[in-house]
């Protein structure tokens, strides 16, 4: 599965480089969104079909876990992103601004490039995109060791593009925590970006 996922991404990069130009991006976006909507719909059907699981997940302990997961991901991301400033040559502020995207690269790159600098916008795009792309490889690997750990690498993408893969690699319970975590992270990304940009 991992090799197939990795091979498909590489195939896409080479195919895009050899046969397409930048004008194809809009069409690719449309295909991406249609495929994603369909996958999320199917993931929703699988979640909804598990009524017992939905009822069982609504316990105080599970709700605490549902909030603890995104909180840990936020803290870990910012600590990791902050520490990376020692190695990348970027300032601590710039590193935290890029990290604040939490995997939502389309939003963070646009916000950072328009409100800070184009160069950092490119770093934000690449860094957050790499976070999501590498998650396609990491999730099947992490699932063998600890299912809940599959939620960590993707950040905000855990609720959509990575959700179907997470469910396939783990189980429905992990899929639900993944969705909730991605939703919470998606809600806080605009807040973190605004907050950091206001401190500039």
Partner 1 sequence: MFRGGTMQEIMIAIVAGILLGWFDVFGYKVKLTLSRLSTACLFLMLVCLGAKIGCDADLLAQIEVLGWQSLLLGGMTIIGSLLALYPVTVIFRSRAESGEVQK
Scan residues 123-152 and list those touching partner 1 (CB under 8 A).
Answer: 123, 125-136, 138, 142, 146, 148-149, 151-152
Instruction: Tell me how far apart the alpha carbons of residues 4 and 83 are, in angstroms, rounded to a whole number.
Output: 33
Nearer to partner 1, 99 or 116 (CB): 99
> Which of 3, 89, 198, 200: binder of partner 1 (CB under 8 A)?
89
Phi, psi of 146 (to 5 degrees): -155, 115
Residue 34 is encoded by which pair of tokens? 């249609």
- Tell me the three-class secondary structure of 66-104, residue by residue: HHHHHHHHHHHHHHHHHHHHHHHCCCHHHHHHHHCCCCC
Binding flags for partner 1, 6-25, as an x/- string (CB under 8 A): --xxxxxxxxxxx-xxx-xx
Residue 76 touching partner 1 (CB under 8 A): yes
CB of 1 to partner 1, least distance (A): 10
> Which of 116, 160, 166, 192: binder of partner 1 (CB under 8 A)?
160
Contact 185, 73 (CB under 8 A): yes
Instruction: Tell me how far apart the alpha carbons of residues 38 and 119 are, in angstroms, rounded to a whole number.
Output: 34
CB of 45 to partner 1, least distance (A): 4
CB of 73 to partner 1, least distance (A): 5
Nearer to partner 1, 68 or 195 (CB): 68
> Which of 2, 91, 92, 106: binder of partner 1 (CB under 8 A)?
106
Footprint (CB under 8 A) of partner 1, residues 175-194: 179, 186
Instruction: Tell me how far apart the alpha carbons of residues 179 and 168 are, in angstroms, rounded to a whole number.
Output: 14
> Which of 111, 140, 157, 196: binder of partner 1 (CB under 8 A)?
157
Footprint (CB under 8 A) of partner 1, residues 22-51: 22, 24-25, 28-29, 31-33, 35-51
Name the burial class of residue 103, with classes exposed (0-12), middle (13-18) and buried (19+) by CB atoms within 10 angstroms of its CB.
buried
CB of 114 to partner 1, least distance (A): 14
Number of residues counted as binding partner 1 (CB under 8 A): 106
Residue 77 is encoded by which pair of tokens? 């991301």
Contact 177, 69 (CB under 8 A): yes
């Amino acid at each position: 599965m991992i090799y197939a996922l990795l091979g498909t991404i590489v195939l896409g990069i080479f195919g895009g480089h050899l046969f397409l130009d930048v004008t194809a991006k809009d069409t690719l976006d449309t295909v991406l969104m249609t495929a994603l909507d369909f996958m999320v719909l199917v993931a929703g059907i699988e979640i909804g079909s598990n009524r017992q699981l939905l009822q069982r997940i609504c316990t105080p302990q599970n709700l605490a876990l549902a909030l603890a997961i995104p909180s840990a991901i936020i803290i870990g991301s910012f600590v990791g992103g902050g520490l990376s400033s020692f190695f990348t040559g970027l300032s601590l502020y710039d590193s935290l601004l890029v990290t604040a995207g939490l995997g939502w690269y389309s939003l963070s790159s646009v916000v950072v490039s328009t409100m800070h600098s184009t160069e950092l916008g490119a770093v934000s795009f690449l860094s957050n995109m790499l976070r999501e792309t590498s998650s396609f490889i990491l999730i099947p690997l992490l699932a063998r060791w600890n299912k809940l750990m599959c939620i960590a690498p993707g950040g905000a993408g855990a609720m959509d593009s990575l959700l179907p893969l997470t469910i396939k690699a783990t189980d429905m319970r992990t899929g639900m925590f993944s969705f909730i975590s991605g939703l919470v992270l998606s809600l806080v990304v605009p807040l973190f970006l605004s907050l950091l940009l206001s401190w500039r």
